[in-house]
Amino acid sequence: MSTVGGVWGVVPVKTLSEAKSRLQSVLSDAERLEISLQMLHRVLSALQDAQFVDKWLVISRDPRVLDIAQDKHGLPLLEDGFGLNSSLEQASRWADAQGAAAVLVVPSDLPLITAREIDMLIRQAGSEPCAVIAPSRHGEGTNALLLRPPGALPFCFGPGSAARHAEEARRRGLSVRFHVSESFGLDIDTEEDLRELTNLRLIAGAGPFP
């Protein structure tokens, strides 16, 4: 239970049949499904174990994904719009209506994420109106976004989103902070990302992934 003030995790998830389509040239359908499920479980477990996350929800159109969320004691929310930013607006409005003081958007494809890293990001936010952005490893994308309060700015996920989120936050008078870390930095979309993950795991003695 959070002592930092009503932080709700929000995890948007595509239907599993669409998962990691950009890896079709290097992974079979079964392998893409397996890696997607492994990363999803890791993200949900990290949120479940984080000290400063009060509640968390998964928004998706996929019944299997929503069942996984419920099995792990999260809140399943059926997506009723189209596109990532639309689904996040829906989830943020819903969390706000349930009393959330802040929302933390965490994608489902962060294979290095930990509860400790989530808590560190939330600590960085503090209790004032703010946006905390965890950029991708190349500095352009947004791999996590905390907004206090929910709905403090429109979601701008897509190419160059880290800069767009920061610009929108400053324009609205919010404090802007960046949380740069390896745990949040690596998301898996391309063959290059998969090679980077494999290299990191081999360095750590963990073996290939999945």
Span 74-116, pLDDT tens digits: 999 999 988 999 999 999 999 999 999 999 999 999 999 999 9
110-165: pLDDT as tens digits? 999 999 999 999 999 988 999 999 999 989 999 999 999 999 999 999 999 999 99
pLDDT at 29: 83
Q: Is residue 144 part of a domain?
A: yes
| Listed range (147-151, 164-168, 192-196) with the worst mean pLDDT | 192-196
| CA atoms of 163 and 58, how far apart (whole Å) | 25
Query: In terms of residues, how long is the chain?
Result: 210
Give the CATH number for residue 35.
Answer: 3.90.550.10
16-67: pLDDT as tens digits? 888 777 677 777 888 888 889 999 999 999 999 999 999 999 999 999 999 9
pLDDT at 48: 97
Which phi-psi region, left, alpha or beta, contains residue 151 (left: φ > 0; alpha: ψ -120 to 50)?
A: left
Alpha helices in 27-160 (DSSP H): 29-49, 63-71, 84-97, 115-125
| CA atoms of 74 and 63, how far apart (whole Å) | 14
Structural domains in the chain (count): 1
pLDDT at 84: 95
Q: Is residue 161 part of a domain?
A: yes
pTM of the model: 0.90
Q: Is residue 133 part of a domain?
A: yes
Q: Is residue 50 part of a domain?
A: yes
Between residues 9 and 192, the one the model is more confident about: 9
Q: Is residue 209 part of a domain?
A: no
Q: Residue 56: which domain range?
A: 7-16+24-203
Q: Is residue 171 part of a domain?
A: yes
Sign of the CA dihedral running 133, 152, 147, 42: negative
